[in-house]
Amino acid sequence: MINRRDFLSTAAAGLAASTLIAPAVHAAGADEKPKRVGLIGTGWYGKVDLLRLIQVSPVEVVSLCDVDKKMLAEAAEIVAGRQASKKSPRTYGDYREMLKEKDLDIVLIATPDHWHALPMIAACEAGADLYCQKPISVDVAEGKAMLAAARKHNRVVQIGTQRRSTPHLIEARDRVIKEGKLGKVGLVEIYCYYHMRATGNPPDEQPPANLDYEMWTGPAPKMPYNALIHPRKWRAYMEYGNGIVGDMCVHMLDMTRWMLDLGWPKKISSSGGILVDKKSRANISDTQTATFDFGDLNVVWQHRTWGDWPSKQHPWGATFYGDKGTLVANVQEYNYWPAGKTAAEPTLTGKALYEYDQFPEDKTEKDLERHVASAVRWHMKDLLANIKTRGKPVADIEQGYISTASSILANLSMQTGRELTWDAEKQQVVNDDEANRLLARPYRKPWTHPAASM
């Protein structure tokens, strides 16, 4: 059996070859200027992403943008303390002003989901390559327009579905799936049982003085402000995202598609709703099941934000069932059992990679998911490598579009109460005018939906 440390030394995140070299920390050559970087959305994961990029490349962060002045100032101070130049980046409250400079090589987008499409397209038009958080959009038509913009302007776009760059999951794919240890896979169960749905019912109030709530809302419906909206709790509302399916399912569906080399599902069905917690202001489902039918394989999602977890060890992950074995994979570890052996210790196992020797600041960074830090770094290295070659990164915008749109279609299936058949060539639901009208959500004026110009 290959030693896991030896394996990881030759594994890599998302590069195309079958035998891979681990992505190296990028050092600018004598004639190569550091990439100029801007971040739109300086909250939790915006900083996580940006600080990982600083760790692996001598970039110069020159611009930060956020509608929250307090959050923006805090991020500028952190970045100045972490980047090599110690310079404080310029700050903006409007992404259009930041992009107007047209002096950025890379733009990171980590806004709430309803604010992904327009800045991403604008950054493509401004000549930047991108790292955009998942899900790429809040409706299917936005994602289609984002993909078109990336291709039209020849931009390299990495989506933040970093399971594709997670070292132990690369190992699981290569040691278990690619070596045929599962045999024929006929079912994958993907799931999340975290109690992550907001349960509060705070009163309406005036937005804080540091927040430009008009700009924060942007093209989405403008709801009365309350404490669930900002910061970080906006996922309580379908107006700003796509619930737990858009937040957590998209990760595991994308991981499954990557591991098994799957494209679009042929049919999508979903049911559920707010079945238990009917008191909270949150309008996302607390219980939902979705089936993604790939023909001879079903991928079945389930989330539940109440009650006990089926497994305390695996509250968010995927279980691959093959006729020769079973694989359980999640952000913390993977375990493989040959058929008939699941009651015993796993035959193969791997854990999340921590790189404290090389990046000791991971130990003390506020709000960092330490078990995910290596995955974000490997994802950034893959982006940088493909910027250099003008290739497609492992989580290319097209892959992000497929996983995002499939997740949104699951919500639309639950909304319409019927199974949806997807025509991947025509990019529409077959024989369902109502569902096709729902592929694009109305934009609040004066913002214009990007599909309107396609």
The helix (run of H) or strand (run of E) holding residue 135 is none
Find the CATH number of the domain harbouring 307. 3.30.360.10
Same-domain check for residues 54 and 130: yes
Same-domain check for residues 141 and 266: no
Q: Is residue 391 part of a domain?
A: no
Same-domain check for residues 198 and 158: no
Q: Is residue 225 part of a domain?
A: yes
3-state class of 129 per DSSP? strand
Same-domain check for residues 158 and 171: no
Same-domain check for residues 250 and 121: no
Write phi, then psi, for 255 (nearest 5 degrees).
-60, -45
Alpha helices in 194-274, H assignment, sequence order: 213-217, 243-244, 250-260
pLDDT < 70 stretches in the chain? 1-31
Same-domain check for residues 19 and 71: yes
Give exposure, 14-53, as e/b (b: 16+ Cβ within 10 Å).
bbeeeeeeebeebeeeeeeebbbbbbbbbbbbbbbbbbbb
Same-domain check for residues 47 and 118: yes
**Alpha carbon distance 370, 364 (integer Å):** 10
Residue 91 is part of which domain span?
Answer: 4-163
Same-domain check for residues 190 and 228: yes
pLDDT at residue number 258 = 98
Q: Which of the listed residues 138, 163, 188 is the one where a domain comes to its end? A: 163
Same-domain check for residues 57 and 18: yes
Could you tell me which of 333, 133, 144 has the C-alpha nearest to residue 247? 133
pLDDT at residue number 29 = 55
Predicted TM-score of the model (pTM): 0.94
Is the CB of residue 35 less than 8 Å from the CB of residue 390? no
pLDDT at residue number 453 = 83
Q: What is the pLDDT of residues 265-296, one digit of tens each?
A: 999 999 999 999 999 999 999 999 999 999 99
